[in-house]
Amino acid sequence: MSEFNLDEILSKLPNPERDYVLALIERDPLTGAHNRKSFNDYMAIQNSRMERGEGPLCLIMLDVDHFGKYNENQGHQGGDLALQKLVSVVRSTLRPHDESLIFRYGGEEFVLGFGGETAQEGRNIAERLRSAVEKECDFTVSVGVSDSLIAGENMENILATADRALYCAKHSGRNQVMTYENLSKMPLMKIGVRF
């Protein structure tokens, strides 16, 4: 198989076709959220930004509560519509200055990244998102928040600590926001082990 240069190929396409191909490469076709490839690219950019000392990175992970049961009750088409609605609500709830992208990380799990924001600022955004979903949807979400100030500047650690906070939000009653820094205040038996 011969190698090809995607940038070179894209540069030869007219704008509408180039935009369409980029959307196929970078977006989840069901929800329109950015996909895992886009997330990996985003994390590489944020890593470079942090190495230049341009401030922290905050990650917010959210997951639909009881999505398996939701699919059982509503059918898979209903589940698909729920994920589309979730992305729509998140987009409409974010403020222009939030400057974030929403990524479909897997299944019913999504990640938002905020360059220059701390976990406390991220918690405020996350609570706004959680509340909007609760009001506008027939399901709820659990949310985990972490940042590079808490987890260090290792991208995997930031993601892992946001995931751990999400896991604890789910196992502490769901429909809530948990920051990784708050886990130290929880009894050990409530934190559980995920890794």
CA 35, CA 26: separation in Å to the nearest integer?
Answer: 6
Q: Are 161 and 150 in contact (CB under 8 A)?
A: yes
Ordered per-residue pLDDT tens for the chain, 195 residues? 456 777 787 787 788 887 777 667 789 999 999 999 999 999 999 999 888 888 899 999 999 999 999 999 999 999 999 999 999 999 999 988 777 789 999 999 999 999 888 999 999 999 999 999 999 999 999 999 999 988 888 889 999 999 999 999 999 999 999 998 877 555 443 434 333
The catalytic residue among 17, 26, 51, 108 is: 108
Domains along the chain?
Answer: 30-191 (3.30.70.270)
Strands (E), the chain: 57-64, 101-106, 109-115, 141-147, 177-179
Output the pTM of the full model. Answer: 0.85
53: left (phi over 0), alpha (psi -120 to 50) or beta: left
CA 134, CA 153: separation in Å to the nearest integer?
Answer: 32
Q: Look up 108 and say whether it is catalytic.
A: yes
